[in-house]
């Protein structure tokens, strides 16, 4: 494992960190992930109040394995459901309880997007609350995770003193959100930068378009697609660590082998050309920049929003058949509850939660048009009718 220094507190952090957004739901697999990560030298875990079951799972695993002291824990204040100052303490207590710990090493304001939002939190007593938690040793460092505009990120960096920041950053679009300019500015101010979505929820790994995969395979037939994503980041000295949500042990092992080789300046000129080519392919093929984070869920009408976008993208990045098959499975075509784009009523409840600022209603309308053609809708009605009839017969017998 390679390590980089958190320059604010002179802490050695593994370049790869265990992300908690997509951890497995079963305890045994999660425990194995944590044990293997620890054995490989990983010393940072990132989770959040709003990742379903994630804090509880890490809490249980760390308690049972006795490894709490071996990891720095990062978790986040859920701004999206914080409505008043009293909520800071309420959520924080719950987090300590879930994580079975008495302190949080890296605490983040989750999805802080503008100086105005920070001002509102400050008017609710945020600074006083943080000062109290720091004095009591319950919060060791304070940062924020960001999903807004670059101009706002640059302002936020200088508005107060931060111990670290967390940004979305990868080779598919280095100018997206905080971007390279934000990364460099943070580093210039001595603020450690934790990178999230290095693989865009798998879109830069196994879900890469076939042509893009071919570009990487040609450049290096042995290297995994995920490793390409990490190498681009490890190459940059301003990146402190990369966190990735690993759902399977095989992914963890692959991610760790990339982290073992991490070095500043490791990307060659030929490899840079491959990254540029792949990024151009991605730009031309991806319909909706959804990472599958599910922050927009649940939808009151049951729409499987990430599932809709994933299938829609697959239609264009892989092929028509794959996309339609995926859509048929994820939209509940043959089950009781239809969860496709056609179930959306446009209430827009989901949109304010999307860190990628996707116009969900508009994009779902496009999904419906392309993924629910006339014959598909007819099939759905026919299947529903058939099930009703056969179900009726069964109940009489």
Note the residues at the interface with ligand SF4 (CB under 6 A): 290-296, 299-301, 303, 305-306, 309, 344-350, 353-354, 356, 358, 360-361, 364
Which C-beta is closer to ligand SF4: that of 252 or that of 350? 350
List alpha helices for the chain, DSSP H. 27-40, 54-65, 86-99, 115-123, 126-135, 150-159, 179-188, 210-219, 225-234, 249-260, 269-285, 305-317, 320-330, 360-371, 374-396
Nearer to ligand SF4, 129 or 169 (CB): 169
Query: Least distance (Å) from ligand SF4 to the CB of residue 355?
Result: 6
- Cβ distance 380 to 332 under 8 Å? no
Instruction: Give, in degrees to the nearest 5, the angle at Cα 214 between 208 and 215.
Output: 95
**Rounded distance, CA 5 to CA 164, Å?**
12
Question: What is the bridge-based pairing of β-strands 106-112 and 241-245?
Answer: unpaired
Q: How far is the CB of 330 from ligand SF4 (least distance, A)?
A: 12
| Helix axes of 269-285 and 210-219: crossing angle, nearest 10 degrees | 180
Question: Among residues 142 and 311, whose Cβ is nearest to ligand SF4?
Answer: 311
Closest separation between CB of residue 354 and ligand SF4, Å? 3
Tell me whether residue 243 or residue 262 sits nearer to ligand SF4 (CB atom): 243
CA 383 to chain centre: 36
C-beta of 364: minimal distance to ligand SF4 in Å? 6
Minimum CB distance to ligand SF4, residue 199 (Å):
14
Closer residue to ligand SF4 (CB): 34 or 303:
303
Residue 253 CB neighbour total at 10 angstroms: 13
């Amino acid at each position: 494992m390679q390590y980089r220094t958190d320059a604010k507190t002179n802490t050695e952090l593994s370049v790869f960190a265990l992300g908690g957004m997509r951890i497995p739901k079963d305890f045994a697999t999660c425990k194995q992930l944590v044990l293997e990560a620890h054995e490989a030298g990983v010393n940072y875990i990132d989770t959040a109040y709003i990742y379903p079951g994630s804090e509880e799972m890490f809490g249980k695993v760390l308690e049972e394995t006795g490894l709490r002291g071996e990891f720095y824990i990062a978790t986040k204040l859920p701004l999206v459901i914080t409505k008043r100052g009293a909520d800071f303490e309420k959520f924080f207590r719950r987090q300590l309880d879930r994580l079975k710990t008495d302190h949080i090493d890296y605490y983040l304001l989750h999805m802080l997007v503008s100086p105005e939002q920070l001002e509102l939190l400050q008017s609710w007593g945020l600074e006083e609350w943080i000062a109290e938690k720091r004095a009591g040793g319950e919060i060791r460092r304070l940062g924020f995770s960001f999903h807004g505009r670059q101009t706002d990120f640059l302002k936020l960096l200088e508005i107060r003193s931060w111990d670290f920041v967390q940004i979305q950053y990868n080779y598919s679009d280095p100018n997206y959100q905080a971007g390279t300019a934000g990364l460099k500015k943070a580093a210039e101010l001595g603020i450690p930068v934790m990178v999230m979505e290095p693989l865009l929820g798998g879109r830069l790994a196994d879900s890469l378009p076939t042509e893009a995969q071919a570009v990487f395979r040609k450049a290096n037939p042995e290297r995994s697609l995920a490793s390409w994503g990490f190498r681009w980041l490890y190459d940059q000295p301003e990146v402190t660590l990369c966190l990735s949500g690993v759902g399977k042990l095989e992914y963890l092992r692959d991610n760790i082998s990339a982290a073992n080789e991490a070095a500043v300046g490791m990307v060659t000129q030929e490899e840079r050309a491959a990254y540029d080519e792949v990024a151009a392919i991605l730009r031309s093929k991806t319909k909706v920049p959804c990472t599958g984070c599910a922050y927009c869920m649940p939808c009151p009408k049951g729409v499987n929003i990430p599932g809709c976008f994933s299938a829609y993208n697959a239609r264009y990045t892989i092929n028509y058949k794959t996309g339609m098959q995926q859509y048929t499975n994820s939209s509940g075509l043959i089950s009781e509850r239809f969860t496709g784009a056609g179930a959306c009523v446009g209430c827009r409840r989901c949109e304010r939660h999307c860190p990628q600022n996707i116009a969900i209603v508009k994009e779902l309308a496009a999904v419906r048009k392309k993924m629910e053609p006339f014959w598909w809708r007819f099939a759905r009605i026919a299947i529903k009718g058939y099930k009703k009839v056969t179900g009726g017969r069964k109940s009489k017998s």
